[in-house]
Amino acid sequence: MRIDKSRLDDANKKDEARHKDHFDFLSNQLTMKGCDVESILKKLSDFQVAIPSWALGAGGTRFGRFGFQGEPSNLEQKIDDVGILHTLTKTAGAISLHIPWDVPKDYSAIKELANSHDIIFDAVNSNTFQDQKNAKESYRFGSLSNTNRSVREQAIQHNTEVIQIGDKLGSKSLTIWLADGSNFPGQSNFQTALQHTEDSLKDIYKTLPNDWKLFIEYKPYEPNFYSTVIQDWGTSFMLANACGDKAYTLVDLGHHLPNTNIEQIVSTLMLKGKLGGFHFNDSKYGDDDSTVGSVKPYSLFLIFNALVYGMENNPQNPYPAWMIDASHNIKDPLEDLIQSLEAIQEAYAKALLVDQKLLTGAQQNHDVVKCQEILQDAYRTDVRPLLEKARLESGGAINPINAYRSLQVRENLIDERGTDSVASGL
Ligand code: PSV
Ligand code: MN
Ligand code: MN
C-alpha cells in the first residue's frame, strides 16, 4: 500500500494551526538567541536514517515471538513498509539489507521499486552468526575466527557474495558483525581467534570495490557469554587500521557495558577519522534494541553533541552511515520505527542548538557550571516544532504517528496482506 498524498494533506490540516503557532514562537526564541533556524531545518531535512530490513516485522525474544498482523513477508513488502515510513517522516530514505535473509530475486525490479519510494540501499550486512540451509560448514564455533580453515573460507566467501549483491543494488558499504567468541574459560585461544579474524577481514577487504567502505561492528557479549572476539571499539579500530583506509569502526548504541561513555568513544573515533557507521537503539540493561530515546534520551543528546561536533570539525572522518538497529516484540513495528526516527531527529536538533563557540569559551575559562548550562539549555528546548516544520516542508506528516493511525495504515496492510502474514528472515 502507498499513502495517498491528498489524504496526508488532509491529516496535516488538523494540526496546521497548532503547528504554526508553536513553530513561530520557537523560531522567534531561537532567532533571538542567535540560532540560524533555516540552516537547522535544512540539516534536519537532509538527515536520513536507514531502516534495517529485519526490523519491519515484530521482533522476538529467545522465549518466543508474537507475530504482528500485516507484517511484510517478502523483500518487496519490506521496501513498501520503508516507503510508508519515508512518506510520513521524510527521514527514512534508505534500507539496509541482511543477507541471506533478503536476497533480491529480480534486481532491476527491486531497484525500481525502491526508487519509486525514493529509497536507496545503504550498507549490506553479512550473516555468519547462523548456519544456512545446505551450508557445508557450521558456524557453531565461530566464523571468521574459526580454528578450521574451511569454515573461515566459507565465511569469507559469504562476505564476498554479500558485496556482490550490494554492488548490484547500489550499496556502498558492507557491515560485518561477528558473533564469534567463546562461552567458557579455556574454550578458545584469544590470540589465535583474533589473528584469524584479522586475516579473514583482510581477505574480505581485498575484494571490496574502491568506492566501498567496510564497517566493523563490536559488541561485548551475546550470543557468547565468556568472550567475544571483537568485543570493543578498540579491537574494531585496531582491525580497521590493519585492513586499510576503507575500513571503519561501527558503533551500535546497545553494544557497550553499562555506563560506558559512548560520546567519548564517538569523539575519539571521529578525531582519528574512523567512525564509519552508527546503529541507533536504546537499552536499560544490555543489547535490548529498544526504541531509540525511550530510556536514556539525555545520553542520546550527549552522543549527538559529539557527533555534531565531529561532523563540523573532523573533515578526516567520512559522513557516517546511520541506521536504526532496534526492533520490538510487542509494538506495531512501524509505529516503533516512527518513534525511533522522531527521537533521533529530536536529539540531533537539540545538539544543533548547542552554541559551540560559547561552549568552547566556557571550557577554556574552566567554567564548569556554564558548560553544563549551555548543554542543558539546548537539551531542555522543545524542538518538536522544528521537526514538524522540516517534515512539512518536505511533504511529510506534521505528526507521523497520528497520521499513521488516522490513515489506518496498519488496517490497510492487514487487508492487503492478511492476518497471518509472517515476516520473513526472522
Ligand atoms: C547484533 O546484535 C546486531 O546489532 C548487528 O548489527 C546485527 O547485524 C544486527 O544486530 C541484526 O542481527
Ligand atoms: Mn547493530
Ligand atoms: Mn545488536
pLDDT for position 426? 46
For the segment 23-45, the average pLDDT, to the nearest whole number, is 98
Distance 221 CA to ligand 3 centre (A): 10
pLDDT for position 424? 54
What percent of the chain shows pLDDT beyond 70?
A: 98
Residue 124 has pLDDT above 70, yes or no: yes
Q: What is the CATH number of the domain that holds 293?
A: 3.20.20.150
231 CB near ligand 1 (under 6 Å) = no
The string of pLDDT tens digits covering residues 141-191 is 999 999 999 999 999 999 999 999 999 999 999 999 999 999 999 999 999
Q: Whose CA is nearest to atom 7 of ligand 1?
A: 177
The string of pLDDT tens digits covering residues 374-420 is 999 999 999 999 999 999 999 999 999 999 999 999 999 999 998 77
422 in a structural domain: no
**Structural domain for 394, as ranges:** 5-417
Query: Against a cut of 0.95, is the pTM above it?
Result: yes
pLDDT for position 425? 53
Identify the nearest ligand to the CA of 279 by its number: 2
Rounded Cα gap, residues 329 and 332, in angstroms: 8
More confident residue, 62 or 114: 114
89 in a structural domain: yes
Omega prior to 320 cis, within 30 of 0: no
What percent of the chain shows pLDDT beyond 90?
A: 94
426 in a structural domain: no
425 in a structural domain: no
pLDDT for position 57? 86
For the segment 271-282, the average pLDDT, to the nearest whole number, is 98
217 CB near ligand 1 (under 6 Å) = yes
376 in a structural domain: yes
pLDDT for position 421? 63
Mutate to test the pocket of ligand 1, among 54, 95, 96, 217 (most ligand atoms within 8 A of CB): 217
Q: To the nearest whole number, what is the mean pLDDT of the chain? A: 96
424 in a structural domain: no
Total domains present in the chain: 1
177 CB near ligand 1 (under 6 Å) = yes
Cell (9 digits) for 231: 568485543
pLDDT for position 60? 78
Distance 332 CA to ligand 3 centre (A): 20
Identify the nearest ligand to the CA of 228 by its number: 1
Beta-sheet pairing, 120-121 with 50-52: unpaired
81 CB near ligand 1 (under 6 Å) = no
Q: Is 183 helix (H, G, I), strand (E, B) or coil?
A: coil
For the purposes of burial, counting CB atoms within 10 Å of the CB of 351, is it exposed (0-12), middle (13-18) or buried (19 or more)? buried
pLDDT for position 198? 99
375 in a structural domain: yes
27 in a structural domain: yes
Rounded to the nearest 10 degrees, the angle between the axes of helix 368-380 and helix 333-353 is: 140
Amino acid at 144: L
Which atom of ligand 1 is nearest the CA belonging to 129? 12
Q: Which residue from 389, 380, 293 is spatially nearest to 342, judged by alpha carbons?
A: 293
The string of pLDDT tens digits covering residues 77-91 is 999 999 999 999 999
The string of pLDDT tens digits covering residues 193-243 is 999 999 999 999 999 999 999 999 999 999 999 999 999 999 999 999 999
Residue 276 has pLDDT above 50, yes or no: yes
